[in-house]
């Protein structure tokens, strides 16, 4: 009788450990999916900024006397700075002011 009780407690313990492992695995998968999504968004934003900067620089190289060249470069610098600040604030909510 005692052995049956020990086996029952052991089976219940193993079942509970499996449940906890499944929950932890599900939470890990959720966090990984969210981190992957954020990384993709950051990468896409950064890539857009780089591509925009390249287009402005290409235009400046083709026509160095263009009046829009200086304004375009200033705009690119401003947008790149805003993207960097936005990324920093979104990762550090304490610095959102």
Tens-place pLDDT, residues 11-61: 999 999 999 999 999 999 999 999 999 999 888 888 888 888 888 888 777
**Distance between CA atoms of residues 31 and 49, nearest Å:** 27
The per-residue pLDDT for 43 is: 87
How far is the first Cα of the chain from the last one, in angstroms, to the nearest whole number?
Answer: 67
Angle at 85 between CA 80 and CA 88, to 5 degrees: 125
**Distance between CA atoms of residues 63 and 66, nearest Å:** 6
User: Are the C-beta atoms of residues 87 and 45 closer than 8 Å to each other?
Assistant: yes
The per-residue pLDDT for 44 is: 86
pTM, entire model = 0.49
Question: How many domains does the structure of the chain reveal?
Answer: 1
**Range 88-92 average pLDDT:** 51
Q: Which domain range does residue 68 map to? A: 2-95
Positive or negative torsion for Cα 42, 68, 62, 74: negative
Token pair 């375009």 in the structure block, residue: 72
């Amino acid at each position: 009788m005692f052995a049956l009780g020990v086996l029952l407690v052991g089976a219940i313990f193993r079942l509970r450990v499996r449940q906890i492992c499944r929950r932890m695995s599900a939470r890990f998968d959720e966090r990984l999916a969210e981190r992957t999504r954020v990384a993709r968004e950051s990468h896409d934003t950064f890539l857009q900024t780089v591509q925009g900067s390249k287009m402005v620089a290409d235009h400046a190289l083709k026509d160095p006397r263009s009046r829009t060249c200086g304004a375009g470069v200033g705009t690119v610098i401003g947008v790149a700075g805003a993207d960097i600040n936005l990324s920093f604030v979104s990762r550090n909510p304490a610095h959102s002011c």
